[in-house]
Amino acid sequence: MASGIKDKVVILGMGCSKFGERWDASPADLMVEAFEECLADAGIEKKDIEMGWFGAGIDAYNVGSSALPLSLALRLSNIPVTKVENMCATGTEAFRGAVYAVASGACDIALALGVEKLKDVGYGGLPQRTRGVENDMFWPNLSAPGSFAQLASGYRAKHGIDKTELKRAMAHVSVKSHANGAKNPKAHLRREITEEQAINAPYIAEPIGLYDCCGVSDGSACAIVTTPEIARRLGKTDLVSVKALQLAVSNGDEASFSDWDGSYLKTTRIAAQRAYNEAGIKKPREEISMTEVHDCFSITELVTMEDLQLSDEGKAVRDVLNGDFDAGGRIPCQIDGGLKCFGHPIGASGLRMIYENYLQFQGRAGDRQLSNARLALNHNLGGFPHQNICSISIIGRYE
């Protein structure tokens, strides 16, 4: 009977490029930047890597559809490399492949790397009238801001939340993330904002304003994973292990005639519960120390707190305004700045989240360092509220 992957795989090393408008760097440059940090951190040689997983979300306008860019850019030793894409969960999907390979015994040491170079192609995440990243026949009357604005409307209507109060809570989410991101040298946006700026910013899709949206960015992140036994033999002591990896994908139910009311993310609730079961977590609010969630929009982060069982249903607005998810709060969220300050190079985001967890557990997060961190949860959401992909990874100290 399946027993899950808890503590079967540990992270040997990780690396992350600077995120931003990297006009001077190609995808290969970003990959090398992240990989060199990761390899040095792992303390192994490149020839020790036996398998690789390569994540890139918008491949046709970026790195292509095969796995060759990874093996070529890093000069890997003719090892098997697999290209993966699963919308905004692509980085975590690459990590999942590498972790599963080690857990299964297929290899001893595996690499997961995600990259995206979006600024050069002018991608903005909106429908386009001319042929580009998305053409006229795709998303012709749908946008990400518009779709998540509907999530905000559904959430507010269901729970009877005052419009002004919701807007204040959304602003607080963004203010909190900017305060955290200002301390992170690898973040794209490194300046604090005020609640007044966020509330009074121009609307993109009401009630979502400019400061409620994450940006488009270039970046790469990667991980090298192995077994606890091998890591010990290599001299590693403070091991960081994978406690759970779960994926839930919409089956069309939300977009059909069903009981889904548009106020929450169904896949997040399913994936989170599966991850808690796999990790042996009974009381998430007491056991989870920090989260990195898919804050493509501030409303998404707010609703996700309830979907992850970290707030009571309908009470996330209260908890956000109380500072429960601030750096000094009950369960810090986006301590590195999140998508809000890193932007969202699709293939890299999931691994970037895990990178922050890893630094925190290693005591290497600098001005962002949290105390007594035990378990960290990462959440990626690809697609729209009515049809999406959700991945959950839980990372913690090896015991």
H-type helices in 182-323, by residue range? 195-200, 228-233, 266-279, 284-287, 298-307, 316-321
Choose, from 16, 38, 88, 222, the residue flagged as catalytic.
Answer: 88
C-alpha separations of 74 from 31, 106, 129 in Å? 8, 22, 37
Amino acid of residue 274? R
Q: How many CA atoms are closer than 13 Å to the CA of 42, on its beta-carbon side?
A: 28
Q: Which residue has the tokens 């630094």?
A: 359
Residue 88 appears among annotated catalytic residues: yes
Nearest to 127 by CA among 211, 205, 188, 65: 205
**Dihedral pair phi/psi, residue 283, rounded to 5°:** -130, 85
Choose, from 188, 294, 344, 386, the residue flagged as catalytic.
Answer: 344
Element (H, E) at 225: strand 218-226
30-43: string of b/e by CB count within 10 Å (b at 16+)? bbbbbbebbbebbe
Q: What count of residues does the chain have? A: 399
Nearest to 306 by CA among 266, 252, 250: 266
Element (H, E) at 148: helix 144-159
User: What pairing do the DSSP bridges indicate for beta strands 290-292 and 208-209?
Assistant: unpaired
Residue 333 appears among annotated catalytic residues: no
Check residue 19 and report its DSSP letter. Answer: P
**Tokens linked to 29:** 């440059």
Q: How many CA atoms are closer than 13 Å to the CA of 368, on its beta-carbon side?
A: 30
Element (H, E) at 97: helix 90-104
| Residue 216 near residue 124 (C-beta atoms within 8 A) | yes
Q: How far apart are CA 157 and CA 182, in angstroms?
A: 34
Q: How many CA atoms are closer than 13 Å to the CA of 30, on its beta-carbon side?
A: 31
- Measured from the Cβ of residue 366, the count of other Cβ atoms closer than 10 Å reads 10
Catalytic positions are 88, 344
